[in-house]
Structure 1
Amino acid sequence: MTEKSTIRVFIADDHAIVREGLKQILAESPDIVVGGEAETGSDAMKLFRKSKCTVLLLDIALPDRSGIDVLKHIRKDHPDAAVLMLSMYREDQYAIRALKAGAAGYLNKQSAPRELVNAIRQVASGQKYVSAALAQELASTVGEDHVQAPHEQLSDREFQTLTMIASGKTVSDIARELSLSVKTISEYRARLLSKMKLKNSAELTHYAIKNQLVE
């Protein structure tokens, strides 16, 4: 296998055990090599450039910032990079949002190792990767009878605020984690409540749990 044909992969996930598991899986493929790793979004954005990797495996839920934010940053600075989003969340809740933001593919962490390797090879070749289930979901969203769910109307930042509130975090917690002001997060909260026609955080949390937007 020549260096030119080897796929260099960067792994961004905050769980060390997940990163080690991914590296073990990829080590069995002679055409794939792990060229770097990070446990936070900030580190991923700084280290990806130095790694000279062409594929980024990016967890959608990082401790310091949204995987969607990191995705947009990486795509802006490295337009040729293929970003494959990884998540424990159901595909129909996050995948379409990730693909619209520039991801080359979306894969559930519970997928089989063979599917991961195939997905990496596919996005590395310049193609998009979607599972059969996601392909069906994408088809339904363009159908004439598709009714947009309330949370699908939210911006990426509003959606992120929704999931963080539903996970039990306060406005102050969210502001600190996202390096934004409490006033800004409060505005996001007010807007998303208005768009979704909900009265308070309790109703928001109930909605998120019912629609499996949080684990």
Structure 2
Amino acid sequence: MTTTRGALRVLLGDDHKIVREGLKMVLADDPQVQVVAEADTGPAVLDEVQKLQGPLGIDVVLLDIALPGMDGLDVLQVLRKSWPELPVLMLSTYPEKQYAVRCIKLGASGYLNKSTDPDELLAALHRVAAGGMHVTPATAEALASLVSLGRTKTGIELLSHREHQVYLLLTQGRTVSEIGAQLNLAPNTVSTYRARILEKTGTKNDVELALYAQSHGHGPGAPRN
């Protein structure tokens, strides 16, 4: 691929081709932004970053959360460890209040919902490529409340990273065995995480967890990546 001199070089990481094509159309409106690579799985994102660290290079990774093989949060952590100077902008359909703070705490330079206006997306890409952070008012409010004195974490905020991964897969209707296969965990381990998730979300069974998930923008009937 020929790269425009001086263009901001972007790697797209999303498992849906139609989403990647739509993003490329949006980014094509800015002559100073060029998509130099795309990937549809977590491991593929890391492979592309590894390949393009050189003459071409990457200025920003635009990364989805729900990726097969390795989810976006795990990919983000690997990127922060191996390429700490590479900005990562998360783009997802998941609710901002629950996920933006989690992503930023893991090292993302910003978080945007996929319903974001194209102009805001382009502005965010330029901002994080220049070394800045893109924080929406809603995310800023969530960050402020997180550090407020006396604030107690509740529900989803109490979940560990691994519990959060299992929670997301449970809300997608995955079975314990399917989750174990995807995350390389024994079924008994997944069941243990499930029990912790029920306790921390204040639910007693899968039906209540499904209702809880829907009320927080997850699961069947909620927006999906």
Q: Fold match, TM over 0.5?
A: yes
In 2, the alpha carbon distance for the partners of 1:48 and 1:183 equals: 35
Q: Which residue pairs with 1:176 in the alignment?
A: 181
In 1, the alpha carbon distance for the partners of 2:45 and 2:188 equals: 28
Question: For each residue in 1:98-147, what CA deviation from the matched residue of structure 2 results, as whole angstroms up to 9, or x when unmatched?
Answer: 11111110011111110010000011011111112222222222233644
> Given the alignment of the two structures, is residue 61 of structure 1 paired with residue 62 of structure 2, yes or no?
no
Q: Which residue pairs with 1:148 in the alignment?
A: 153
In 1, the alpha carbon distance for the partners of 2:28 and 2:4 equals: 16
Contact 2:94-2:218 within 8 A present in 1 as well: yes
Q: Which residue pairs with 1:73 in the alignment?
A: 78
Contact 1:54-1:80 within 8 A present in 2 as well: no
1:213 aligned to which of 201, 212, 218: 218
Q: Using a 3 Å threshold, how does the CA distance of structure 1 residues 133 and 195 change in structure 2: closer, same or farther? A: closer
Moved more, 107-116 or 135-144: 135-144
Superposed, 1:115-130 pairs within 5 Å as 115-130=120-135
In 1, the alpha carbon distance for the partners of 2:215 and 2:136 equals: 24
> Given the alignment of the two structures, is residue 20 of structure 1 paired with residue 21 of structure 2, yes or no?
yes
Q: Which residue pairs with 2:41 in the alignment?
A: 40
Q: Which residue pairs with 1:88 in the alignment?
A: 93
Scaled by the length of structure 1, what TM-score is found?
Answer: 0.92
Percentage of matched positions with identical amino acids = 45
Runs of 4 or more above 4 Å deviation? none
In 2, the alpha carbon distance for the partners of 1:194 and 1:113 equals: 39
Contact 2:4-2:34 within 8 A present in 1 as well: no
2:196 aligned to which of 188, 191, 195: 191
Q: Which residue pairs with 1:162 in the alignment?
A: 167
In 2, the alpha carbon distance for the partners of 1:172 and 1:195 equals: 22
Q: Which residue pairs with 1:104 in the alignment?
A: 109
In 2, the alpha carbon distance for the partners of 1:152 and 1:213 equals: 15
In 2, the alpha carbon distance for the partners of 1:144 and 1:122 equals: 31
Equivalent pairs, count: 214
> 1:2 Cα deviation (Å)?
7.7
Question: For each residue in 1:161-201, what CA deviation from the matched residue of structure 2 results, as whole angstroms up to 9, or x when unmatched?
Answer: 11211221111111122233223222221222333343322
Q: Secondary structure in 2 aligned to 1:60?
A: coil
In 2, the alpha carbon distance for the partners of 1:29 and 1:136 equals: 30
Contact 2:169-2:179 within 8 A present in 1 as well: yes
Q: Secondary structure in 2 aligned to 1:56?
A: strand
Question: For each residue in 1:30-86, what CA deviation from the matched residue of structure 2 results, as whole angstroms up to 9, or x when unmatched?
Answer: 221111000111111111221221210000111333210111111111111100001
Gaps of 5+ in 1: none
Gaps of 5+ in 2: none
Moved more, 112-121 or 177-186: 177-186
> What is the identity, as a one-letter code, of the residue corresponding to 1:23?
K
Scaled by the length of structure 2, what TM-score is found?
Answer: 0.88
Q: Which residue pairs with 1:133 in the alignment?
A: 138
Q: CA RMSD in A?
A: 1.9
